[in-house]
Amino acid sequence: MSMLRFKVTKEAFSRKAVPVNYPNERPSEYYGRYVFNREKMFKYLPKKTYEAVIQAIDNSTPLSREVADSVAAGMRKWALEMGATHYTHWFQPLTDGTAEKHDAFIEHDGKGGVVEEFSGKLLIQQEPDASSFPNGGIRNTFEARGYSAWDISSPAFILDKTLCIPTVFISYTGESLDYKTPLLKALNSVNKAATAVCKYFDKNVNHVYSYLGWEQEYFLVDESLYAARPDLVLTGRTLMGHESAKNQQLEDHYFGAIPSRVEAFMQDLEIECHKLGIPVKTCHNEVAPNQFEVAPIFEETNLANDHNLLLMSVMREVARRHNFRVLLHEKPFKGVNGSGKHNNWSLGTDTGVLLFAPGKTHKENLQFITFIVNVMAAVYKYNGLLKASISSATNGHRLGANEAPPAIISIFMGKQISEVLAKLAKSTSEDVLNMSGKAGLKLDIAQIPEILMDNTDRNRTSPFAFTGNRFEFRAVGSSANCASAMIALNAAVASQLQEFKERVDALIVAGKEKEQAILTVVKELINESKDICFDGNGYSDEWKAEAERRGLDCETSVPLIFDNYLKDDVVKMFERTHVFTPVELQARNEVKWEIYTKKIQIEARVLGDLAINHIVPVATRYQSLLLDNVFKIKSLFPAEKSEQIATQDMEVIEKIAHHLLTIKEKVHTMVEARKVANKIENEREKAIAYHDTVAPHLDEIRYHIDKLELMIDNEMWPLPKYRELLFIR
């Protein structure tokens, strides 16, 4: 069996870079080729239709059936010209990733043949079978079917030979069954709330956009090596494997040249992304061996998120072309950095102002301070929710480990901003009066931007950092749908801004001058929420103790972290912002718990199987070789001498016996724990049982397997080792 390991290692080792098919045109020419963007709409739609669609996109209004029919006809014409044969509603179910149901364009022509048809009805609405997607009981409580509907703010695109139409996915009773629907609601809510606050400063602001620039980290593994690791294939991570003698300590990977096979992959990926209108800008090495990152130019959040989901599927495909498998799991390898997906997030007005960027004038800076302080307050109030929004069985391996954001949400503001906020917080009402006077806001912000850009990004241990003109939510997992984090963050900030406006308006009504009222509330907010700010080392034990004292959410059990979604203030916040109803929140949590359970359940099964069928037999075989050897020694040498010569082997035999015994025992108890947990009906209780009583066995069993890996003849070890998985490329 270990033959397989050597065969695949050899295969992987001898691979050459796959040549990239470079297009003949410039990137600016093929950019967006497969996207039905405004340019294509203009070309393929009648003028009236084009105008109606643009109108609908810009004002988020629905399309009439007539317009839809006309759009569908134009879209079909374009798609057929591009060689598409199928179409699908492309949506984001509550499992991560996307779902599609491909239908051919063909319809009966009534003469025994077919025509290629695509009506407005099919464009606007379809009915995928909701029962095949997780819905947390919504299906049972309400109407059975769900439908998908075109999100016209995200353009249709062609992937392979399929026209993909980005859609929301909703139950017939109106509950969202996906990520896109609540994301659009959260974006709408933050737009309204932020626009209202912007009007204090500039009456011309009519829209506030939320922007997202994600940084996608991933690992590449040679496909042959991957295929020889059932744990990678089935769970996305290695459930066993002793640390390689060398891993990332030299940090030579980060600064090293990109390996040629990987470079070919990256170039190919970039070309594919550009054709799909994904503005990928950088591809580079990451800290861990065989770990890389790809990041685009930021876009409006809904589109950026669609693009991230699309990227993840394109990556998988392109990787295959290059004989790689891409690992999007947050923690594929123990002892090596995990993968995240930093969410760079900001708000900007339709007048072109980035609201988290310091300005030049007094008024601009008051607006800047207003917005970052409201973000601070939102993150403070909803820190538990934000943590829940990025928590999953897979990201759970990353958070709290000594390399990724800790399992406590805090904000890193950077020295300059912290000083400004501290100064503001301490100011007396007289100071406030002076500050808002003609002399302007004396906060010394004017010279900050340049310093900020250089200094803000240094604290890598912070899960939520201010980075000069945006916030960077770093705790998001590499495999996640960013929407989860973006829904929570945008909704929380929307709700906070609503509250801020109410407080300021109340002061104005009571007779305070506008700027004074704003400054007063800003000052109060800093004092109320400064406990969320932490600029120190987020991995330290002192911080854990301190965070506990400050009342921040310190829970580490993923199923319990999910409870945050159902806490009173969170439910109210989501209701106030019209993002989720209590019913939806309950149902979605059921799904979260269910998925958590299933992930651990699968890992437990795979590990049990690998331990008993792959590792135990090999270890036993090796042990028996040693036993043989001891027998031979004993038959050849006199007793005293043979005792001495065989000591070494005897010790190893005993150690192997110990590990074998423990592995078998622990696999047995793990199976029993699973049986008990499986009987639990309540999804929450079941997930907790899996977390508390099943998951710990995974680590324990692994410990003993990893010890065996160090003892057993390398020639016999069946699974590709870490040094092979991480260093062959």
Q: CB of 316: closest distance to ligand ADP in angstroms?
A: 21
Q: Which of 49, 181, 291, 344 binds ligand ADP (CB under 6 A)?
A: 344
User: DSSP string spanning 195-224?
Assistant: HHHHTTT-TT---EEEEEEEEEEEEEEEHH
Decide: residue 186, CB within 10 A, 0-12 exposed, 13-18 middle, 19+ buried.
buried
Which tokens go with 216? 């996608």
Q: CB of 313: closest distance to ligand ADP in angstroms?
A: 19
Binds 354: which of ligand ADP, Mg ion, none (CB < 5-8 Å by kind): ligand ADP
Q: Which of 34, 169, 226, 298 binds ligand ADP (CB under 6 A)?
A: 298
Q: What is the dihedral of CA 507, 509, 511, 515, to 10 degrees?
A: 50
Contacts to ligand ADP from residues 536-595, by CB under 6 A? none
Point out which span in 27-35, 146-154, 340-348, 353-361 binds Mg ion (CB under 5 A).
340-348
Binds 724: which of Mg ion, ligand ADP, none (CB < 5-8 Å by kind): none
Q: CB of 480: closest distance to Mg ion in angstroms?
A: 16
Q: CB of 402: closest distance to ligand ADP in angstroms?
A: 20
Binds 494: which of Mg ion, ligand ADP, none (CB < 5-8 Å by kind): none
- Asked if 355 is part of the footprint of ligand ADP (rule: CB under 6 A), the reply reads no
Point out which span in 342-350, 401-409, 492-500, 603-611 binds ligand ADP (CB under 6 A).
342-350
Binds 659: which of Mg ion, ligand ADP, none (CB < 5-8 Å by kind): none
First to last CA, the chain: 23
Is 34 in contact with 157 (CB distance < 8 Å)? Answer: yes
Residue 175: φ, ψ to 5°: -75, 140
Alpha-carbon distance 242 to 720, whole Å? 11
Cβ distance to Mg ion smaller for residue 295 or 728? 295
Contacts to ligand ADP from residues 32-71, by CB under 6 A? none
Of 716, 719, 723, 669, nearest to 697 (Cα)? 669
Is 299 in contact with 150 (CB distance < 8 Å)? Answer: no
Is 479 in contact with 328 (CB distance < 8 Å)? Answer: yes
Is 127 in contact with 147 (CB distance < 8 Å)? Answer: yes
- Asked if 282 is part of the footprint of ligand ADP (rule: CB under 6 A), the reply reads yes
- Print the binding letters for residues 424-463 with ligand ADP: x by CB under 6 A, - otherwise: ---------------------------------x------
The stretches of 279-361 forming alpha helices (DSSP H) are 301-321
Three-state secondary-structure class, residue 134: coil
Binds 185: which of Mg ion, ligand ADP, none (CB < 5-8 Å by kind): none
Which tokens go with 544? 């854990």
Nearby residues of 61 by Cβ (< 8 Å), 6 or more positions away: 55
Q: What is the dihedral of CA 381, 387, 388, 392, to 10 degrees?
A: 180
Q: CB of 445: closest distance to ligand ADP in angstroms?
A: 17
Q: Which of 342, 398, 674, 691 binds Mg ion (CB under 5 A)?
A: 342
Q: Which of 98, 346, 564, 597 binds ligand ADP (CB under 6 A)?
A: 346
Longest dimension (CA), the chain: 105
Q: CB of 212: closest distance to ligand ADP in angstroms?
A: 6
Point out which span in 151-159, 230-238, 291-299, 362-370 binds ligand ADP (CB under 6 A).
291-299
- Asked if 614 is part of the footprint of Mg ion (rule: CB under 5 A), the reply reads no
Q: CB of 358: closest distance to ligand ADP in angstroms?
A: 12
**Number of residues in contact with Mg ion under rule CB under 5 A:** 1
Q: Which of 242, 470, 666, 684 binds ligand ADP (CB under 6 A)?
A: 470
- Asked if 296 is part of the footprint of ligand ADP (rule: CB under 6 A), the reply reads yes
Q: CB of 329: closest distance to Mg ion in angstroms?
A: 20
Q: CB of 211: closest distance to ligand ADP in angstroms?
A: 4
Q: Which residue shows structure tokens 């710990």?
A: 696
- Asked if 674 is part of the footprint of Mg ion (rule: CB under 5 A), the reply reads no
- Asked if 354 is part of the footprint of ligand ADP (rule: CB under 6 A), the reply reads yes
Contacts to ligand ADP from residues 202-231, by CB under 6 A? 211, 213, 215
DSSP lists the bridge partners of residue 165 as: 89
Of 208, 186, 183, 212, nearest to 197 (Cα)? 208
Q: Which of 138, 159, 170, 295 binds ligand ADP (CB under 6 A)?
A: 295
Cβ distance to ligand ADP smaller for residue 74 or 340? 340
The stretches of 14-127 forming alpha helices (DSSP H) are 27-30, 38-44, 47-59, 65-81, 120-124
Binds 135: which of Mg ion, ligand ADP, none (CB < 5-8 Å by kind): none
Decide: residue 413, CB within 10 A, 0-12 exposed, 13-18 middle, 19+ buried.
buried
Cβ distance to Mg ion smaller for residue 217 or 231? 217
Integer CA distances (angstroms), 30 to 22, 27, 77, 139, 270, in order: 11, 5, 19, 43, 12
Q: CB of 346: closest distance to ligand ADP in angstroms?
A: 3
Which tokens go with 476? 């998001």
Nearby residues of 647 by Cβ (< 8 Å), 6 or more positions away: none
Cβ distance to ligand ADP smaller for residue 248 or 467? 467
Of 23, 131, 110, 124, nearest to 71 (Cα)? 124
Comparing every residue's Cβ against ligand ADP, the nearest one is 213
Cβ distance to Mg ion smaller for residue 281 or 621? 281
**Number of residues in contact with ligand ADP under rule CB under 6 A:** 15
- Print the binding letters for residues 620-639 with ligand ADP: x by CB under 6 A, - otherwise: --------------------
Q: CB of 377: closest distance to ligand ADP in angstroms?
A: 20
Integer CA distances (angstroms), 619 to 5, 227, 697, 707, in order: 16, 22, 20, 11
Three-state secondary-structure class, residue 340: strand
Residue 494 has a CB neighbour count (10 Å cut-off) of: 29
Binds 213: which of ligand ADP, Mg ion, none (CB < 5-8 Å by kind): ligand ADP
Q: CB of 300: closest distance to ligand ADP in angstroms?
A: 10
Alpha-carbon distance 420 to 328, whole Å? 39
What is the contact surface with Mg ion in residues (CB under 5 A)? 342
Q: Tell me which residues touch ligand ADP (CB under 6 A).
A: 211, 213, 215, 282, 295-298, 344-346, 354, 457, 469-470
